[in-house]
């Protein structure tokens, strides 16, 4: 373990500078000043200044590592570093050499020092997340999740002082840190692009040891180094999560190198907390008898009333029918709200699925349809909305939207009326799934006037329905999606939930809504503890996704379920989204046992770096044909062209006029095929399976290890929901 900024002190490295004089002289030449004099004497009091602190720590950490490694060669299976220390971890893993690392750290330190208007505050032994939310200001970010007993906040100095006072009033220990910037927060965003551009000047090697990223607690590979180091600047350090990952993998021996023992002290705290949680959550004591039903006090009564369900638990829609007819039917008949995964399905298929589900439903049971944004064909959204209105499907789950669209507004407002008390009453409900405050603002606002007026002119809405639009929000409810399977912004629930809940309250007051807008939590919901934590944060309901994908009822192949049932929390990666390939949007996918994420990222790298297929060198094109496509590029293009010609002739014309777009269309063939292979369970293409999945399933697999549910063939989506809720209720009641 390598410490970061804050571990520095005068005299550090004293016993090492003479031993490694060659490196010391090299560092001094690069830096333009004596690194030994700075660390040992600090006559000008520069050691505490960021532009000096970070290079100094990097050098001393490196020398400490070299000294340790001489005596204990090759005994490190994992290397980790806190913030700046992560660069030493990458050095120890052979990603770059000493000089390269120092030059990168110099650049990082210079950029950090340019952000001066802020600071950091340590909050110690805060009793729970709810209390932390109360004392946080909207302008203050969590910068370090160091342990269950310590978080570091970043923000403007005056705001931090207000939080410090709030801590004092609530009996919580806090302390302003001796740093001159709001590191690892939104305030660092202005320097991210410059740092990213600087990193592109270097070629990084495959790590020879496992390095856990501060940014997202995944292992570094050759394809995520630039991204993780860039994101680390303005994102919280997930130190506790990194430690828990190592504990989960059975790591017991830790050595801190460099000055001080800051991380060693945190290690003791995290080990104690982890052991306590492991004892509380051990699955061995659970009864595996099927629960016919439970009485749950968790969640919002008004949410349950609105959707006629006893449970504040929703099964989200997974595309291409993975949230299948069988899944939706089973959940609905058990009393749960769930959504058919209609994304990527033809409208005729969706209609047939609605009819099939209705035939199997018990009386008064309800279900919804996932409504996936279609930016290339907005009329298709309107057509789907019209179908759902015709079929009297009253609930949709709006996914991947950034703005209001005609399809959404049409669905939401159709049937809107005044009751006998002259209060607007909705017929249709939109549960918007989102992860950005600016998108939340769109859904918390009334439908845009220009869209409403256009729908009225087209005769899709009546004059009365249009006139009532200002009195309802576009979304009935909002599911806040933290880092999840499929499309993801890699959000952190502890940050997103309070921020968007505040927006909800502000917009409700501003527009004087009479209907409540409920807040739900999604992403990372895989264990009773996660569900209990979400409700402790004040959400009205929870929504699960990945855990439902590995059930008997899920509409994917047995081969995929076999892979998913064996995954752990570290077994996912980020890859380009095939439906938004050109935009660089990301999806979270399974990486264990497949090569899809590596290959998908390679395709996007080629797309970024070249203007046409012809610009790519022959050896790379041959590799694509032999290993990725399994056929010639010409054959792939012919297939792509025939598909576009039959369904999207105008788009084809546009693509054929642009070599760049043609390259993208050809690469997107691979994304389509990789999804098809996984849904069909085509073992011949197992390495290319594209399986959208979040780490929640890994935590679920751990929770059920050693029980009957370890085998996915024993997992039924409604029984899982009941077990999770039942155990979450027990945890919640204890708190």
Catalytic residues: 83, 184
Close Cβ partners of 247 (under 8 Å, ≥ 6 residues apart): 270, 271, 274
Q: Is 645 helix (H, G, I), strand (E, B) or coil?
A: helix
Sign of CA dihedral 607, 610, 611, 613: negative
Nearest to 702 by CA among 526, 543, 533: 526
Sign of CA dihedral 303, 305, 310, 316: negative
Cα 414 to Cα 385: distance, rounded to the nearest angstrom? 10
Nearest to 470 by CA among 385, 412, 396: 412
The C-alpha angle with vertex 68 and arms to 64 and 74, in degrees rounded to 5, equals 130
Q: Is 332 helix (H, G, I), strand (E, B) or coil?
A: helix
Radius of gyration, CA atoms only, the chain: 27
Q: Are 495 and 698 in contact (CB under 8 A)?
A: no
Cα 565 to Cα 581: distance, rounded to the nearest angstrom? 28
Nearest to 244 by CA among 206, 207, 209, 281: 281
Write down the H helix ranges in 574-695: 596-609, 618-623, 633-647, 649-656, 659-680
Residue 502: other Cβ atoms inside 10 A: 14
Q: Report the first-to-last Cα separation within the chain, whole angstroms.
A: 34
Nearest to 551 by CA among 346, 722, 372: 722
Beta strands 119-124 and 150-155 are antiparallel
DSSP class of residue 206?
P
DSSP class of residue 292?
S
| Residue 260 Rama label (left phi>0; alpha psi -120 to 50; beta) | left
Cα 109 to Cα 87: distance, rounded to the nearest angstrom? 12
Edge-to-edge strand ranges of the sheet holding 119-124 = 141-147, 150-155, 119-124, 173-176
């Amino acid at each position: 373990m390598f410490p970061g900024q804050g571990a520095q002190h005068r005299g550090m490295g004293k016993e090492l500078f003479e031993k490694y004089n060659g490196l010391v002289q090299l560092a001094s030449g690069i830096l333009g000043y004596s690194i030994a004099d700075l660390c040992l004497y600090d006559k000008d009091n520069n050691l505490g200044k960021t532009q000096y602190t970070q290079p100094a720590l990097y050098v001393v950490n490196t020398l400490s590592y070299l000294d340790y490694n001489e005596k204990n060669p090759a005994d490190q299976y994992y290397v980790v570093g806190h913030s700046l220390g992560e660069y030493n971890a990458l050095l120890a893993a052979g990603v770059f050499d000493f000089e390269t690392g120092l030059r990168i750290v110099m650049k990082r330190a210079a950029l950090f020092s340019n952000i001066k208007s802020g600071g950091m505050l340590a909050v110690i032994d805060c009793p729970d997340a709810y209390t932390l939310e109360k004392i946080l200001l909207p302008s203050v970010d969590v910068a370090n999740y160091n342990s269950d007993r310590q978080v570091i906040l970043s923000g403007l100095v005056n705001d931090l002082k207000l939080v410090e006072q709030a801590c004092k009033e609530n009996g919580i220990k806090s302390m302003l840190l001796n740093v001159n910037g709001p590191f690892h927060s939104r305030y660092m965003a202005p320097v991210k692009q410059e740092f990213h551009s600087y990193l592109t000047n270097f070629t990084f090697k495959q790590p020879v040891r496992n390095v856990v990223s501060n940014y997202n607690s995944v292992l570094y590979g050759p394809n995520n180094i630039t991204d993780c180091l860039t994101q680390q600047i303005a994102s919280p350090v997930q130190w506790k999560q990194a430690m828990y990952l190592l504990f989960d993998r059975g790591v017991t021996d830790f050595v801190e190198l460099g000055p001080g023992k800051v991380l060693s002290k945190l290690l003791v705290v995290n080990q104690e907390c982890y052991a306590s949680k492991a004892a509380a959550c051990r699955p061995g004591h659970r009864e595996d008898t099927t629960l016919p039903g439970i009485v749950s006090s968790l969640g919002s009564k008004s949410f349950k009333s609105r959707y006629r369900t006893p449970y504040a638990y929703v099964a989200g829609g997974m595309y291409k029918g993975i949230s299948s007819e069988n899944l939706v039917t089973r959940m609905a008949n058990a009393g749960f709200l769930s959504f058919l995964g209609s994304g990527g399905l033809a409208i005729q298929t969706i209609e047939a699925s609605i009819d099939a589900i209705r035939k199997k439903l018990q009386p008064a049971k309800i279900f919804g349809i996932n409504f996936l944004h279609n930016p290339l064909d907005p009329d298709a959204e309107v057509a789907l909305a019209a179908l759902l209105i015709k079929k009297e499907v009253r609930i949709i789950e709006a996914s991947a939207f950034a703005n209001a669209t005609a399809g959404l507004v049409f669905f939401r407002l159709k049937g809107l009326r005044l009751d006998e008390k002259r209060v607007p009453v909705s017929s249709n409900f939109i549960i918007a799934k989102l992860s950005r405050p600016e998108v939340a603002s769109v859904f918390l606002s009334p439908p845009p006037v220009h869209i409403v007026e256009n729908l009225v002119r087209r005769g899709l809405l009546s004059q009365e329905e249009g006139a009532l639009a200002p009195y309802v929000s576009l979304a009935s409810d909002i599911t806040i999606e933290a880092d999840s399977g499929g499309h993801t912004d890699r959000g952190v629930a502890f940050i997103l939930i309070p921020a968007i809940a505040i927006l909800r309250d502000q917009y409700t007051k501003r527009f004087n809504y009479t209907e409540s807008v409920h807040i739900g939590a999604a992403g990372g919901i895989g264990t009773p503890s996660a569900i209990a934590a979400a409700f402790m944060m004040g959400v009205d309901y929870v929504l699960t996704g990945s855990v439902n994908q590995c059930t008997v009822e899920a509409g994917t192949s047995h081969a995929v379920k076999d892979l998913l049932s064996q995954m752990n929390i570290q077994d996912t990666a980020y890859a380009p989204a095939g439906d938004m390939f050109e935009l660089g949007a990301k999806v979270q996918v399974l990486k264990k046992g497949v090569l899809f994420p590596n290959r998908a990222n390679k395709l996007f790298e080629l797309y970024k770096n070249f203007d046409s297929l012809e610009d790519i060198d022959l050896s790379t094109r041959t590799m694509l044909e032999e290993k990725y496509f399994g056929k010639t590029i010409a054959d792939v293009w012919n297939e792509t062209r025939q598909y576009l010609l039959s369904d999207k002739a105008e788009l084809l014309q546009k693509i054929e006029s642009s070599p760049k777009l043609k390259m993208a269309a050809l690469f997107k063939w691979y994304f389509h095929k990789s999804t098809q292979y996984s849904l069909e369970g085509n073992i011949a293409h197992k390495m290319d399976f594209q399986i959208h999945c979040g780490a929640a399933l890994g935590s679920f697999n751990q929770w059920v290890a050693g029980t009957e549910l370890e085998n996915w063939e024993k997992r039924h989506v409604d029984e899982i929901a009941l077990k999770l809720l039942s155990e979450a209720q027990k945890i919640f009641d204890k708190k």
